[in-house]
């Protein structure tokens, strides 16, 4: 059996866009989330581990949201879940927040810090590094209907549209797998950030094909 760790933010957690105005966040069901779709598509010979967290960043400490820095949690996560055949890394959207004042290229560089940690770890089989599939986060949509969100993620659409070239270049430099989610999914018109159920389905199916390509 091959084991896959999916390390990401609220779109890996499965945040339901309809709950944006609710008192607390709700998530899509396990079978709806892209991680669940991925597991179903790959079949019984694969184990898919969900590791999504709302608000997770790459390397930044959020002063308003504690314990969200991926860099801090990743080593323990790799250690506790080893041995891993593959890590799917999809982070960067939360780094667009005005709190951090980080341009798209440096956001990809933050993802690169985590990517190198994975590729230098002993979390794979035989204490070797696992393989890595670096995923470019989805394009941020129209936030004009959510002024509070738009204030937090200024120029989100234009800035996130620059992600693919930086993430693809990063993957090429690391010689790891690359997948551009912006070619497959669109964020919800409700909040411009999260994925509707149908988009989770498309992402899970497309990533299943990408995983097969990486793992052979």
What pLDDT, in 10s, does the model give residues 115-153? 999 999 999 999 999 999 999 999 999 998 888 889 999
Q: For residues 135 and 176, is the Cβ–Cβ distance under 8 A? A: no
What is the strand order of the sheet 86-90 is part of? 46-52, 2-8, 86-90, 131-136, 177-180
Q: Name the band, by pLDDT with cuts 50, 70 and 90, for residue 216.
A: confident
Residue whose token pair is 């990063």:
170
Residue ranges per domain, the chain? 2-215
Pairing verdict, β 86-90 and 131-136 = parallel
Q: Model confidence at 110, in pLDDT bands (50, 70, 90)?
A: very high
Taking the mean position of all CA atoms in its chain, how far away is CA 133?
11
Instruction: Pick 2-215's CATH classification: 3.40.50.300, 3.40.50.1110, 3.40.50.720, 3.40.640.10.
Output: 3.40.50.1110
> Rounded to whole angstroms, how far apart are CA atoms 139 and 107?
14
Q: Rounded to an integer, what distance in angstroms lies between the CA atom of residue 114 and that of residue 118?
A: 6
């Amino acid at each position: 059996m091959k084991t896959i760790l999916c390390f990401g933010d609220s779109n890996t957690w499965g945040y339901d866009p309809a709950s944006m105005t609710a008192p607390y966040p709700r998530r899509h069901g396990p079978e709806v989330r892209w991680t669940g779709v991925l597991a179903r598509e790959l079949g019984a010979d694969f184990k898919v581990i969900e590791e999504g967290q709302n608000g997770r960043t790459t390397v930044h400490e959020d002063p308003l949201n504690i314990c969200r820095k991926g860099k801090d949690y990743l080593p323990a996560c790799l250690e506790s879940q080893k041995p891993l055949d593959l890590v799917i890394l999809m982070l960067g959207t939360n780094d667009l927040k005005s709190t951090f004042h980080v341009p798209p290229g440096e956001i990809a560089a933050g993802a690169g810090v985590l990517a190198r940690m994975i590729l230098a770890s002993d979390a794979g089989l035989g204490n070797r590094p696992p393989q890595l599939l670096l995923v470019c986060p989805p394009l941020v949509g129209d936030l004009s209907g959510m002024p509070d969100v738009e204030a937090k993620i200024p120029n989100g659409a234009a800035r996130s549209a620059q992600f693919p070239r930086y993430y693809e270049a990063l993957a090429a430099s690391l010689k790891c797998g690359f997948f551009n989610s912006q070619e497959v999914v669109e964020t919800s018109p409700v909040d411009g950030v999260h994925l509707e159920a149908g988009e989770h389905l498309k992402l899970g199916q497309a990533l299943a094909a990408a995983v097969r390509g990486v793992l052979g």
